[in-house]
């Protein structure tokens, strides 16, 4: 049993900006985590999640010069923070139009797939699969799309079924999102800035050498905490359920419940109640850290917008209650 005499409540007083870093696949190819957490959302320090993928443009068409086996690729933008030339703050890269990109035909069996990609240097590059007697959707298999290098983005595929050199037809070019093309915004994802993770709506396809999914990177700032002293009566943000029921004929009752998100709060003593540093932080979306014992590891993180109610009693120090409106419950960490 812990007696709460060494507890501390801390607020996000500043931020430490980190460069883009690769998130770690949890193993299910849907949840990716970052060691740096929680993520600040203070103004000017909002986090940026950047899964690799096409953002705009990149339409593939038969070569305008009508060269055999060639395609042209329109100018494009993509999110790929690790690529040469990508923005260090947004992860976005602009790639100019490319012409006469050669797709490879089979030499004995006619069925061969070539992936049109942007490689890690920001160049449009063709990656050839292995030929076969028929197409397959299995990555890396004969007749299937090739596994592309880690750090590349697949823009589309050219599927040729003849060994005879010829002008590529538009019907031989495929750019279906999720099947032949990687977009940064597919599949969609949700973010948990307290736990430092994102979760995609479905597992990312294993289309890169390994096989592994595409890179997922994030640029975040982590909070610099300052202790609020003196403080007491910390209340975390927790969810609660409300039950209700409806009665029907023959005495049948059908129950239901609704879930609501509560607010966090803390009481504190102020200096003069006007110039205290914590007051200037009200109205901002900040992280708050509670430690049951400042000499031990366990802690709790709450993220939300604070509002303050001050009391100025004659003959006493100013006091206040800070209420924190949140979008997710407080999260406990054992280490």
- Give the model's pLDDT for residue 3: 79
- Domains plus CATH for the chain? 49-194+207-214 (no CATH), 224-333 (2.40.30)
Percent of the chain with pLDDT over 90: 89
Mean pLDDT on 272-286: 95
Lowest-confidence segment of 107-111, 208-212, 250-254 by average pLDDT: 250-254
pLDDT at residue 312 above 80?
A: yes
Task: Name the band, by pLDDT with cuts 50, 70 and 90, for residue 2.
Answer: confident
* Conformation bin of residue 250: beta by default, left when phi > 0, alpha when psi is -120 to 50: left
For residue 182 the two structure tokens come to 């990687």
User: pTM to 2 decimals?
Assistant: 0.89
Q: Give helix then strand counts, H and E, for the chain.
A: 0, 27
pLDDT tens digits along 244-268: 889 898 888 888 888 889 999 999 9
- Give the model's pLDDT for residue 1: 64
- Give the model's pLDDT for residue 269: 95
- Give the model's pLDDT for residue 160: 97
Distance separating alpha carbons of residues 317 and 184, to the nearest angstrom: 54
pLDDT tens digits along 175-208: 999 999 999 999 999 999 999 999 999 999 999 9
- Give the model's pLDDT for residue 272: 93
pLDDT at residue 297 above 70?
A: yes
> Who has greater pLDDT, 164 or 259?
164
Lowest-confidence segment of 49-63, 136-150, 166-180, 248-262 by average pLDDT: 248-262
Q: Considering Cα of 127, then 129, then 130, then 132, what sign does the dihedral take?
A: negative
Task: Name the band, by pLDDT with cuts 50, 70 and 90, for residue 110.
Answer: confident
**φ/ψ (deg, to 5) at 45:** -125, 25
Mean pLDDT on 16-24: 98
- Give the model's pLDDT for residue 112: 97
Distance separating alpha carbons of residues 145 and 128, to the nearest angstrom: 8
Q: Respond yes or no on whether the N-terminal peptide bond of residue 305 is cis (omega within 30° of 0).
A: no
């Amino acid at each position: 049993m812990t007696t709460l005499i060494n507890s501390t409540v801390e607020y996000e007083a500043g931020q430490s900006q980190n460069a883009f870093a690769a998130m770690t696949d949890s193993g299910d190819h849907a949840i990716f985590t970052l060691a740096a957490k929680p993520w600040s959302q203070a103004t000017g320090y909002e986090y940026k999640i950047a899964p690799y993928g096409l953002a705009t443009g990149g339409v593939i068409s038969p070569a305008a010069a009508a060269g055999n086996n060639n395609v042209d690729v329109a100018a494009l933008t993509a999110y790929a923070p690790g690529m040469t030339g990508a923005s260090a703050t947004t992860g976005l890269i602009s790639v100019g139009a490319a012409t006469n990109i050669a797709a490879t035909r089979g030499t004995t069996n006619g069925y061969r797939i070539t992936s049109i990609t942007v490689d890690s240097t920001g160049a449009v590059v063709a990656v050839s699969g292995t030929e076969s007697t028929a197409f397959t959707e299995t990555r890396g298999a004969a007749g299937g799309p090739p596994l592309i290098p880690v750090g590349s983005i697949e823009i589309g595929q050219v599927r040729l079924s003849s060994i005879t050199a010829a002008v590529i037809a538009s019907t031989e070019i495929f750019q279906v999102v999720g099947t032949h093309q990687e977009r940064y915004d597919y599949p969609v994802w949700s973010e948990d800035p307290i736990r430092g993770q994102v979760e995609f709506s479905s597992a990312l396809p294993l289309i890169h050498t390994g096989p592994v999914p595409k890179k997922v990177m994030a640029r975040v700032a982590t909070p610099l905490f300052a202790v609020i002293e003196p403080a007491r009566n910390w209340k975390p943000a927790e969810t609660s359920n409300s039950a209700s029921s409806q009665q029907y004929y023959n005495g049948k009752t059908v129950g239901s419940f609704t879930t609501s998100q509560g607010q966090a709060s803390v009481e504190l003593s102020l200096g003069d109640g006007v110039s205290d540093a914590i007051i200037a932080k009200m109205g901002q979306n900040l992280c708050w850290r509670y430690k049951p014992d400042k000499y031990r590891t366990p802690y709790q993180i709450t993220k939300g917008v604070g509002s303050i109610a001050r009391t100025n009693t004659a003959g006493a120090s100013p006091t206040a209650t800070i209420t924190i409106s949140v979008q997710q419950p407080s999260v406990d960490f054992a280490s």
